[in-house]
Amino acid sequence: MKIRDIRFGMLRVPLKTPFKTALRTVEQVEDVVVMVHTDTGHVGYGSAPATAVITGDTHGSIMEAVRHYIAPRLVGLEIANLSRITHLIQGAMEKNTSAKAAVEIAVHDLWGQLYGAPLYKLLGGGDPVITTDITISVDYIDKMVADSLAAVDRGFESLKIKVGKDIGLDIERTKAIHAAVEGRALLRLDANQGWTAKQAVFALQTLEDAGVKLELVEQPVKAHDLAGLRYVTERVHTPVMADESVFGPREVIELIRMRAADIVNIKLMKTGGISNAVRLADICGMHGVDCMIGCMLESSIGVAAAVHLAVAKSDVISKVDLDGPSLCRHDPVAGGVLFNESEITITDAPGLGIRAIDGLMPLALATPA
């Protein structure tokens, strides 16, 4: 099975409600879909959203990176030589992690198809059923409480509360939601870099003193501020998780050296795909650091790959935040991974198991026809 060409598509899926964080507001998922075609007629699917405020990647930059730097290195290569392919993808250029991730996901899909096994079994096996949290977007307090109660009624047992816009309101939001769902759901706070280190300590200590128990707080300070992250970690009882501070193995080694956080959030769009995500999980496992598997606001194509990784690395990845498909009005992807509210199940289909993608708009070839 050799790579013949690489093609693009665009997939747009409306959200049930606008997705609001301290950094942005989004009303629909918009993914560049990468399709790797082989000489045997097989197709591997990968995808990447534009997350300029996080990774620096836009739809245009993703496609240009694949077209001019990644795809020319891969045409004619055997899918069986996966390590060589991922090495070439990662070495094609600096940064551009979303573009690398989209191609790596598609290649891993084909790798599973080549050997007739779902991807998670080739990555290490495990129980093909996991449970995710769901995100509660920043909004008026009454709206956030109502959204939280609705999520609990739908069966979600972990809620990720978006904060980071106004420290006083953030505290009141969290108290109100905690009072509404106490005993029915765990709360995770995600500040999306919206606080200073001192603000984070003040907010978290205030909540702790008020009896609000949080499962974790995610990325309370700016991504580059590891010293600030450590400042928070050393002064609160709530576990602190690094997200935007960690893209790949180099950052996680420094984070662990500094003891700057208790948990690491792995996202394929940050790591550049599955190969570096596996390395990151292994490094954390060696040092006894728990991980969460997360995703951007993206379709179930890329999220499916993250599900396979989470299952295969469940000894290290103890927390799951893969709610992208649950936030969409519908799932346009048929086959592979089944998203049913909080429960996510992998089928026995080879690779990612994708059979069809409804509403996929074909774009240009990434490689010459």
Q: Domain with 31 in it: what CATH number?
A: 3.30.390.10
Same domain (yes/no): 20, 36: yes
**C-alpha distances out from residue 141 to 34, 146, 189, 201, 229, Å:** 39, 9, 15, 22, 27
Same domain (yes/no): 181, 153: yes
**How many domains does one find in the chain?**
2
The pLDDT value given to residue 25: 87
Please tell me whether the overall predicted TM-score, pTM, comes out greater than 0.85 for this model: yes
Of these residues, 20, 121, 160, 162, which one is catalytic? 162
**Largest CA-CA distance found in the chain, in angstroms, rounded:** 64
Q: Is 160 part of the annotated catalytic residue set?
A: no
How long is the chain? Answer: 369
Q: Is residue 161 one of the residues assigned to a domain?
A: yes
Q: What is the mean pLDDT of residues 78-97?
A: 98
For residue 101, give every residue at least 6 positions away whose Cβ sits within 8 Å of its Cβ, in sequence order, or none: 46, 48, 268, 269, 271, 272, 273, 274, 302
Same domain (yes/no): 54, 150: no
Q: Is 162 part of the annotated catalytic residue set?
A: yes
Over 80: is that where the pLDDT of 37 sits?
A: yes
Q: Is residue 239 one of the residues assigned to a domain?
A: yes
Q: Is residue 81 one of the residues assigned to a domain?
A: yes
Q: Is residue 353 one of the residues assigned to a domain?
A: no
Over 90: is that where the pLDDT of 245 sits?
A: yes
Same domain (yes/no): 163, 100: no
Same domain (yes/no): 192, 259: yes
Q: Tens digit of pLDDT for each residue in 207-219?
A: 999 999 999 999 9
Same domain (yes/no): 188, 318: yes
The pLDDT value given to residue 175: 98
The pLDDT value given to residue 20: 85
Strand order through the sheet with 25-38:
43-49, 25-38, 3-20, 361-365
Same domain (yes/no): 211, 313: yes
CATH of residue 139's domain is: 3.20.20.120
Domain that holds residue 91: 3-116+359-365
The chain-wide mean pLDDT, for the chain, equals 96
The pLDDT value given to residue 43: 98
Over 70: is that where the pLDDT of 369 sits?
A: no
Q: Is residue 237 one of the residues assigned to a domain?
A: yes
Q: What is the mean pLDDT of residues 118-146?
A: 97
Of these residues, 267, 270, 313, 319, which one is catalytic? 267
Q: Which residues pair with 365 in a beta bridge?
A: 7
Q: Tens digit of pLDDT for each residue in 287-336?
A: 999 999 999 999 999 999 999 999 999 999 999 999 999 999 999 999 98
| Confidence label for 199 from pLDDT (cuts 50, 70 and 90) | very high
Q: Is residue 282 one of the residues assigned to a domain?
A: yes
